[in-house]
Amino acid sequence: MAKISMIGAGSIVFARNLMTDILSYPELRDSEISLMDIDLERLELIERLGKKIIDENGFDTELEATTDRRESLENADYVISIIQVGGLDAFELDIEIPNEYGVNQAVGDTLGPGGVFRGLRTIPVYIDMAEDMEELCPDTLFINYVNPMAINCWAMNEATEIETVGLCHSVQGTARDMAEYVGEPFEEVNYRAAGINHMAWFLNFEKEGEDLYPRLKEKYHDSETYEKDVTKFEILKHFDYFVSESSIHMSEYVPYFRDSEEWRERIHRRQGEEPSSSYGGEIGWTTDDESGVYLKVCRKKAENFLEDMEDMIDESDFEINRSLEYGSRIIHSMETGNPTVIHGNVRNDGLIDNLPEGCTVEVPCLVDKSGIQPTDIGELPPQLAALNRTNVNVQKLAVEGALNGSKEKVEQAVMMDPLTSSVLDLNKIRKMVGELFKAEDEYLPQF
């Protein structure tokens, strides 16, 4: 019986999906699932939902819910983190303060001032949690779903002995979009992606030996398809490869789009159905939503949270469908030995030669009873590595700032951000960062 600890289980939808993914495997239905959250009301809701799924299907799963993190971690074989330190109130500060300075972030959870400060809030909690894991479950696999993915995983690898892998759905979600764009079933295409989280490059995209890239590149001239993924088709045109994550996300990681009202409108304008990896469909793509579109989505969901959860729990028949998330596949492969391949975020120990040693890279990984086994990629095409490095620069300085309590390193991290540096001078960046430090002081004990 494997023990699986979910920290931050009050992130209900994510916790529900992970739980049903795990229970979709017959071999994992005798697991012990420990749900942990500091919000008792949310915790009780996900516990009720979990018990209903288990009872209705007659599974042997043991389910516990606790607000005590150490209790949840004790003897855990797998620890899955889905926390959000500071919640939506801190997230709002990440978006609104930079926006007052002209830094227009659509999501703001991965890079830029929003991503840096989200990392600064998360890392102290992770280091504290790692100390508990080193005592209570030292042989556990820590599965991180929390953004900023690369920054958080880098800090864990740098400061702790806990084996860590970061998981995201951007590679498989984008691959599904690409298959749709060229009119092929997702299940029949093959692909290999590598780079960094939210900027991984599809180095191969084919079906039965046919290179599908020429057909994908033709879609640049198909306005209906182009409008669904403006940023990524522009990157494909100018840098030759398709990139993971949504177009609004990618627009934050480079200096070419968000400092222009025209480009922002093109990226956010909705025509037809959005691709599966996009944000914002719940509220539309009006120009008012350009800054903080994902924050607005989260706020809207939070308004109806309790009602929606009660409706979900009251559903008469809850289907056990497996999502594209990698978490359950890792646990299943490590428990049974049945191999699988994921795209995981791991330490760059010679995996991508032209990215810095020790940074967090996203590469294909074989998973079986031996654990996570990353693929040696060699060198990325030079233009792709160059784009990645502009983001890695920010990540490295942010991690150093977080681990050493250095405000100067944090200021320098934001100064290196491609979007921020395209719209602000150095003095304004320093002033903006100072305002963020003051506003978020309660979440930043290391400073």
Q: Is 169 a catalytic residue?
A: yes
Contacts of 145 (CB under 8 A, 6+ apart): 14, 80, 81, 82, 166, 167, 168, 327
β-strands 360-368, 371-374: how paired? antiparallel
Question: How many C-beta neighbours within 10 Å does residue 261 have?
Answer: 11
Most distant CA pair in the chain, distance? 62
What pairs with residue 6 in β-bridges? 35, 80
Q: Say if CB 47 and CB 16 are below 8 A apart.
A: no
184: amino acid identity, one letter: E
H helices present in 182-323, as ranges: 213-218, 223-226, 230-239, 247-250, 261-268, 293-303, 305-314
Can you spell out the DSSP letters for 91-158? HHHHHHHHHHTT---SS-SSSHHHHHHHHHHHHHHHHHHHHHHHHH-TTPEEEE--SSHHHHHHHHHH
- The DSSP line for 30-57 is T-EEEEE-S-HHHHHHHHHHHHHHHHHH
Helices 12-23, 327-336: axis angle to 10 degrees equals 30
Q: Is 161 left (phi over 0), alpha (psi -120 to 50) or beta?
A: alpha
Catalogue the active-site residues: 169
